[in-house]
Amino acid sequence: MSDVALLPREPFFYLRHGQTDWNVEGRCQGQTDIPMNAAGEVEVAASVARLPMGEIARIIASPLTRTQQSARHASDRLGLPVELDDDLKEAFWGDAEGKADTSWRPAWCAGKTLFGAEPFSDFAHRMVRGVTRALAQEGTPLIVGHGGAYWAIEQALGRDGFSHLPNGTLLKHTPHEKDPALWRVTFI
């Protein structure tokens, strides 16, 4: 497990942005600002249709276009404005952005610094800072973010894995009632 701080034990929803052309091509996006494609719009529309009305107090998103587009779908459904937080941006992957080779990811996640990429530990601390800020406000937030960003969130939930979170996936995170080390993660 990494040295990433654990998240405050407050419930939250997480929506990964919809598909982009680079997702289809298997290219690393990182902070390269690629918009969703038509399939991504459909994915996210289907996911946000399942959002529970009245349970979410705020929508906070990464400022990259693909997450803003995804957040707008949630905003339209819930009637809430979208707040942007720079700390929720995807990792900066340096020279790997735009390339289809992802063989470097396990080493990067394990702490190896590669080709000008933001170190995983710096990225994870940034992500935890953004999510913690969202959880410090009143009410349950919907955080709209990225696949790599969720790897950092998993570490801050006390999990060792690096799950592949498909585009348009919507999750609810609830602290376990009896075990303070556990979280209940539910696909919505």
20 is in an annotated binding site: yes
104 is in an annotated binding site: no
19 is in an annotated binding site: yes
18 is in an annotated binding site: yes
37 is in an annotated binding site: no
With beta carbons less than 8 A apart as the criterion, state whether 66 and 18 touch.
yes
- What residues are annotated to the active site? 17, 90
Task: List, as one string, the DSSP characters of the chain.
Answer: --SPPPPPS--EEEEEPPPBHHHHHT---TTS-PPB-HHHHHHHHHHHTTSPTTT--EEEE-SSHHHHHHHHHHHHHHT-PEEE-GGGSPPP-GGGTT-S--TTHHHHHTT---TTPPPHHHHHHHHHHHHHHHHHSSS-EEEEE-HHHHHHHHHHTT--------TT-EEEEEE-SS-TT-EEEEE-
* Helices 120-136 + 147-156 axis angle, to 10: 80
122 is in an annotated binding site: no
16 is in an annotated binding site: yes
23 is in an annotated binding site: yes
Task: Name the amino acid, one letter, at 185.
Answer: V
21 is in an annotated binding site: yes
Residue stretches of the annotated binding site? 16-23, 66
Residue stretches of the annotated binding site for substrate? 16-23, 66
